Amino acid sequence: MRVIVVGAGVLGASAAYHLACGGAEVTVIDPMLEGRATAAGAGIVCPWSSRVTDPDWYRMSGGGARDYPVLVAQLAEDGEADLGYRRVGALCIAGDEGALPDAEARIRARLEAAPEAGILSRLSPAEARTLFPPLKPDEPALHLSGAARVDGRLLAAGLLRAAARRGARVERDVVTALVRQGSRVSGVRAGGREFGADAVLLCAGAWAPPLLAPHGVELPVAPQRGQILHLLLPGQQTRDWPVLLPMSSHYLLAFDDSRVVVGATRETGSGFDHRFTAGGVMQVLANALSVAPGLATATLHEMRIGMRPMGPDLKPLLGPVPGLDGLVIGNGLGAGGLTMGPYAGRLLAQLLLRGVAEIDLAPYNPLRHGPFLSPHGR
């Protein structure tokens, strides 16, 4: 089976890898544009603390968390060990909302069905600071031992290299059109060439809608800008610091190289404007320093921008397009891309190779919010 994967973010790269593992002839096409969400993302794998209650969202996110150790072990066998993935646990703090009892009840309700989440315990402020030293001194916390962090840039690159070792081709071109024969998508046009395939998996994030519009499909995805800062704490051993989850959309997490990542803005309506803004940087730093004032003397090392592909709700957009045989969409992962993306890629590979995935993908129908406009395009 010949499959073209359009987009080499974590979702597309995972799908390409699992397709290649399954014996497909895979071509990945991605120009690696500035602003790709995966290239900017620092992933937090901790769906059990989320306030989202949608069962289909949680099924995908929880499946992603459960699948990570399997994927990491599989990639290690394929020679990819540097993924920035580590099970470091998470600290959930209340911040100004005083919501720790609610968070504890929510997490405990999910633990029985998710042993991979580990052990939940309450920590005193002193115990919390022992695990995350920059934390303010009067902040109690919940500690969940099974949470992990991952570097999206390293993970996607490792998946692509592993896919290439299994025979996948990687082309750095801009896909300008889907090629169609009657009601079947038979390939893509990119870099002045035409690539034929038995199936096309479109994982182009916020850049996907213009490729679908000429075929009468409106995909409800738009870019949401996220500004993320990387701080250095020279001489500090940050390798085992837990992910820090205030009760808001902001977060802090540490990597092995004395680096702490703080993020992220959620700027709906940003378009593809991949500038850092004074307001965005101030928002991220202010939120970080309000809960971890010990970071005030850190070195501002790097800034990254990512354009999250946001759908009309929190559930991803996964599955075939009715009326366009041979076309499958993977999109709309939003802020949860690095939690659920690798697992969603595995599921889409199963769908293409076997005709069915290990879980029912019907709730993630990419056109569930709108009609397929016309089998003949506009």
Phi, psi (degrees; rounded to nearest 5) at 78: -90, 10
**pTM greater than the 0.85 cutoff:** yes
Q: Two tokens at 275?
A: 């500038």
233 inside domain: yes
| C-alpha distances out from residue 175 to 4, 78, 190, 202, 221, Å | 11, 29, 4, 10, 18
Determine the Cα–Cα distance for residues 330 and 3; give it in Å rounded to an integer.
14
CATH label of the domain that carries residue 284? 3.30.9.10
Express each pLDDT in 327-375 by its tens digit.
Answer: 999 999 998 999 999 999 999 999 999 999 999 999 999 999 875 555 4
What's the 3-state SS for 65-95? HHHHHHHHHHHHHCCCCCCCCEECCEEEECC
The whole-number pLDDT of residue 376 equals 47
378 and 329 in contact (C-beta within 8 Å)? no
Q: Which residues of 84-111 are buried (b: 16+ CB within 10 A; e: fewer)?
A: bbbbbbbbbbbbeeebbeebbebbeebb
175 inside domain: no
The rounded average pLDDT for each run of 10 residues, N- to C-terminus, in the chain (378 residues) is 97 98 98 67 89 95 97 96 94 73 92 96 96 94 97 94 97 96 96 96 96 95 93 94 81 92 90 90 92 95 90 95 96 94 98 97 92 51
38 inside domain: no
Residues paired with 170 in a beta bridge: 28
The whole-number pLDDT of residue 283 equals 92
If one counts the domains in the chain, the total is 1
The whole-number pLDDT of residue 150 equals 95
194 inside domain: no
Q: Two tokens at 250?
A: 């902001």
2 inside domain: no
300 inside domain: yes
> What is the span of the domain harbouring residue 130?
88-147+222-309
Determine the Cα–Cα distance for residues 350 and 305; give it in Å rounded to an integer.
32
183 and 217 in contact (C-beta within 8 Å)? no
241 inside domain: yes
The whole-number pLDDT of residue 378 equals 42
Determine the Cα–Cα distance for residues 155 and 161; give it in Å rounded to an integer.
10
Determine the Cα–Cα distance for residues 321 and 139; give it in Å rounded to an integer.
49
242 inside domain: yes
